[in-house]
Structure 1
Amino acid sequence: MISIDKERLRALIAERKTTPRAVSRAVGSNDTLVRDILSGKSRNPQASTMAKIAEHLGAPIGELMTGVETPDVTGQPPSFAELPLIGPVQAGAWLALDDSSQDEPQMMSAALDRRYPTAQQWLREVRGDSMNARNIYPGDLVHLVDLINSGVRLNTGMIVEVTRTRDGGALREITLKEVEVTEAGITLWPRSLNPRWKDPIVLDDGDGGDLDVEITGLLIAKITRF
């Protein structure tokens, strides 16, 4: 279950010059979905539903949840910068990172997220289909921010870059997953229409010694290339 920031949801709808009914229809639900969330009639909407609403409104899902501490930058125009495209990320099986390459990363123009003024931001190209139920497809670019320096607290429904390190750091692998926060801890899930991708990752996953799993990036935008 997640706690919805209804005032922020209402503000986003107004800023986008749309209506609760239009948003409900856009995410493939009945006409009253968003109205019921705003009124409190729907108290525990599914994380997948909120992820669709956030994507339609062009906002990270964390904006729609209470307890996420981010600076107020409402009304400021976007600031564009050259961000590094630092390689691929696998939406599926783990993808080994090649740290031996001496090539400089490709730089691409993208809108900086002003809520994270001191946190590093970067791009990766998506491979695989384990997140296609969240409209993240092979060839898309994901815009990520350093989780630790962002000051964001993890909440259910966030999509993150996960890094797994083996052999004392000699082997590093990454993947994209969706966060589920429960009383038992944090679990990271694929969200795919492909039945091959169904097994979660437990954040404290380990083999008793030489395996470390951590969340290294928070997805803040997706860029579709045509």
Structure 2
Amino acid sequence: MRFMTWWKRLDQRRIELGWSGAELARRAGIPYANINKYLNGKIEQPRGEEMQKLASAIGKSALWLRDGLELSDVEAAPIEGRLLPVAVVGKVEAGTFREVDDMDQSERELLSLPADDRFPSARLMAFDVSGDSMNELRPRPILPGDRVICVSYEDVAHEAPLRDGMVVVVERSRDGGQTREWSVKQIELYQDRTEYHPRSTNPKHKPIVVPRDPDADTGTLVEIIGLVRRVVNDLPF
């Protein structure tokens, strides 16, 4: 189930439980119209409490529902010197939108890494870097072939509010969540907007600008999914 889209996991679990869509809606406390759209992949991944409500209703964790990972795999209490399994979630490449199914179907590589020293309880994730959108980041560029190691921003947002200079992995989705782009950006905060900037010698890369106006609708959803904590590049042996 790990490499399904989240709504396929939800639907398969619903079938395992012998529930109709209406029964799932009743148990989760979510309107049936929304449940129907979720089960048909017409609404991208729900945010906040709705994901947790769905997970609780089907007897699973939000991590399992969203990513197909069991809590025991990634959220065990860190022990000094102990390595944790960390999934290589996919590729970050500015300007490249991919179908969600294409991103989710291939088997993920697992790394063994220590827990983050600043956020020891946060989930870790890794991304392979493609393209030159961060080749002028200072003090250390992020280059094609690098791998960025992140903590889940959902897990640390309460401890690490957005600030200028923060380097993050941004998910930009469109077409009702059917296509998405993952890219590394550096944050610039302004009174009326947040800007996610490439740091590149290539002028084709442009910042993502998100107005603070909650009613603004650009047709594209922008969400921070990872806070970059390390950049590594293993030499071939």
Q: TM-score range by the shorter chain?
A: 0.5 to 0.7
Distance change in 2, residues 1:95/1:110 (3 Å): farther
Which runs of structure 2 are paired with 1:10-89 in the superposition (5 Å)? Answer: 79-89=82-92
**Count of residue pairs brought into register by the alignment:** 149
Secondary structure of the residue aligned to 2:136 is helix
Which runs of structure 2 are paired with 1:129-144 in the superposition (5 Å)? Answer: 129-134=132-137, 135-144=141-150
Structure 1 unaligned regions, length at least 5: 1-75
Give the CA RMSD over aligned residues. Answer: 2.5
1:170 aligns with 2:178: yes
Offset of 1:191 from its aligned partner?
Answer: 0.3
Amino acid at match of 1:168: G
Normalising by structure 2, report the TM-score.
0.56
Offset of 1:97 from its aligned partner?
Answer: 5.3
Which runs of structure 2 are paired with 1:1-226 in the superposition (5 Å)? Answer: 79-90=82-93, 92-96=94-98, 98-100=100-102, 101-134=104-137, 135-150=141-156, 151=158, 152-197=160-205, 199-204=206-211, 208=217, 210-226=219-235
Q: Partners in 1 of 2:228 and 2:97 — Cα distance?
A: 17
Give 1:32's aligned residue: none
Amino acid at match of 2:95: A
Q: Partners in 2 of 1:110 and 1:104 — Cα distance?
A: 19
Once the two structures are superposed, residues 136-160 of structure 1 have per-residue CA deviations (whole angstroms, 9 ceiling, x without a partner) of 0000000011112113111111111
Amino acid at match of 1:223: V
8 Å CA contact 1:97–1:174 kept in 2: the answer is: no
Distance change in 2, residues 1:126/1:95 (3 Å): farther
Secondary structure of the residue aligned to 2:95 is coil
Once the two structures are superposed, residues 73-125 of structure 1 have per-residue CA deviations (whole angstroms, 9 ceiling, x without a partner) of xxx966432211111111x3234254354343110122320332332211010
Structure 2 unaligned regions, length at least 5: 1-78
Secondary structure of the residue aligned to 2:86 is strand
8 Å CA contact 2:116–2:122 kept in 1: the answer is: no
Q: Select between 132-141 and 209-218 the one with higher mean Cα deviation.
A: 209-218
